[in-house]
Amino acid sequence: MQELLKNPTSPEAKSLKSGSGACSFFYGNLHAVEGSTQRHEVMAPKGRQGKSSAASLVAEKQQSATRTGFFLRTKLLLPRPAPELLSGPRLSERLLNNLTNPLTLITANAGTGKTTLVADFLRTHNRDFVWYQLDHTDADPFVFLGYLAFGIRQVVPAFGSDMFAYLNGAAGELAKNPERAVDVFINEVLERVDQQLILVLDDYHHLGRETPVHTILDRLLAYLPDVLHVVMISREMPPLSLARLRSQSPSSLLDRTDLLFTDEETRQLFRKVFDLELTGEQLFEYRQQTHGWITALQLVRQVAQKAVPRLHEGTTSLVDVLRQSERDIFDYFAEEVFADESEEVQRLLLRVALLDNIEVDTCNVLFSGMNSASLLPTLVRRNVFITLAGDGAHEEYRLHPLFQSFLRRRLRNELGKTGVATEHKRIAEYFLDHGVWEQAVRHLLAAEDFDRAAAVVAACGLSGGASAVDR
């Protein structure tokens, strides 16, 4: 067996290839790598006393060498086509033009069409590509590099012999010096790949902030051969050295603002799908509520298709359709966004959703102990439907209107009507103490404390001072 590992190109080793022609990754010796204990225990089962005997290790290596199931093939499949919304020549042309650069980085929050955009581009353009769907298990450099080599082998059948030979013989070196493995990978690309290959890394954010894979990507991008173009899709900006990319090819970076539907694209959507022309008022309503968020428009479309006859008859309106779509939109938030957050983040989001303007100083007082100063910038970086607005002297955070509506409804379900009213009154007291009358009145009205709201309005209208307000 050792001879096979030393010489994976020998006739004996070749006989261990799978029926598809892809050499199985000899992962039986990966148990030596730190940080992947649980997965490696699955790869190398222990004996009854919890210790692997030499015989069982040899047997495991022999079995692993003949397995074809180490690589989950569905991780390398192009996602299924999404229901058609509207062809996007604006973004498709940008992706095409950017193939002359080493990297295309797409970062945006959930449901903005990142994956759909790239998948549709690959379907409509005759380009060789490798699609790699990432999850937390791919944070292991062995797994990551193994999948890269295996994926390229599906396009370039001769690829991978050098890479797999290195991985099978350099466990210790890879753990200490992952850059060396990248050099082996790049050299094999130069030797065996003769036309441009697009390498797509989808859901890169699943790898987390602390993984050697970031070091691998930095090395790869620094010395990327011309025949490779990397597309990274992530909900947040990856911790990579991207300063040169930002300065030399800023068009390589696509973010949430690039992916949002423009007003004209929204008009075209309703013309194409519903044969309807949006009025200026309707367009304004959709812009205010959806902010061009593609998933919201997709969910609205599903409801609107059922209402097309009534839309043409004039018995319902597009604004009504938007409101009827909220249930599906809220379900999306609950399953795809809110559920992924920690309890600490969930608690903060539910509270700050009551505020129209979210300022750190205000949150530190109103929600002390919730770590607002740290969590709010993190949520912006991770594109969790919250943005930062400001002019340098003054900054405030803003939730997406639909996400804010979802959070407020969720808080009401948890606290009840009385509990939410109590929270609004507490917030109103803060704004009264700081002389922010308009915000105080809004929260008093939300708490249905109409007498107190009227008193504030009357007092501020007469004197503009806090002394006239009976608190």
Evaluate whether 153 touches 334 at the Cβ level (below 8 Å).
no
**Using CA atoms, how far apart are residues 148 and 228, in angstroms rounded to an integer?**
12
**Using CA atoms, how far apart are residues 35 and 31, in angstroms rounded to an integer?**
10
Say whether 53 sits in a helix, a strand or coil. Answer: coil
* 59 burial type by CB count under 10 A (0-12 exposed, 13-18 middle, 19+ buried): middle
**Residue 387's beta-bridge partner residues?**
398
Evaluate whether 134 touches 203 at the Cβ level (below 8 Å).
yes
136's torsion region: left (phi>0), alpha (psi -120 to 50) or beta?
A: alpha
Structure tokens at 62: 């022999």
- According to DSSP, residue 467 is labeled G
**Using CA atoms, how far apart are residues 262 and 268, in angstroms rounded to an integer?**
10
Contacts of 421 (CB under 8 A, 6+ apart): 446, 447, 448, 449
**Using CA atoms, how far apart are residues 14 and 31, in angstroms rounded to an integer?**
24
**Hey, what amino acid is at 185?**
F
**Residue 228's beta-bridge partner residues?**
197
Structure tokens at 371: 């770590």
Nearest partner of 124 among 76, 73, 151, 84, judged by Cα: 84
**Using CA atoms, how far apart are residues 420 and 448, in angstroms rounded to an integer?**
11
Mean pLDDT, contiguous 10-residue spans, the chain (471 residues): 42 38 38 34 36 40 41 88 64 92 90 86 93 94 94 94 89 84 96 96 92 94 95 92 78 86 81 74 77 72 63 63 70 79 93 92 92 90 78 76 88 94 95 90 93 88 43 42
Question: Which pLDDT score is estimated for 53?
Answer: 46
Note the pTM of the prediction, 2 decimals. Answer: 0.62
String of DSSP letters for 184-252 = HHHHHHHHH--S-EEEEEETGGGG-SS-HHHHHHHHHHHT--TTEEEEEEESS--SS--HHHHHH-GGG
Contacts of 53 (CB under 8 A, 6+ apart): 47
Evaluate whether 189 touches 221 at the Cβ level (below 8 Å).
no
Question: Which pLDDT score is estimated for 329?
Answer: 74
Evaluate whether 83 touches 231 at the Cβ level (below 8 Å).
no
Contacts of 467 (CB under 8 A, 6+ apart): none
- Specify the long-range contacts of residues 425-431, CB closer than 8 Å, at least 24 apart: 425/449, 426/366, 427/354, 427/355, 427/366, 428/452, 429/471, 430/362, 430/365, 430/366
Contacts of 31 (CB under 8 A, 6+ apart): 40, 41, 43, 44
CA dihedral (172, 177, 179, 180) in degrees, to 10, reads: -50
What is the number of other CB atoms lying within 10 angstroms of the CB of residue 451? 8
Label residues 361-374 b or e (16+ Cβ within 10 Å = b): ebbeebbeebbbee
String of DSSP letters for 331-364 = HHIIIIIGGGS-HHHHHHHHHHTT-SSB-HHHHH
Contacts of 84 (CB under 8 A, 6+ apart): none
**Using CA atoms, how far apart are residues 248 and 252, in angstroms rounded to an integer?**
9
**Residue 225's beta-bridge partner residues?**
none
**Using CA atoms, how far apart are residues 211 and 141, in angstroms rounded to an integer?**
8
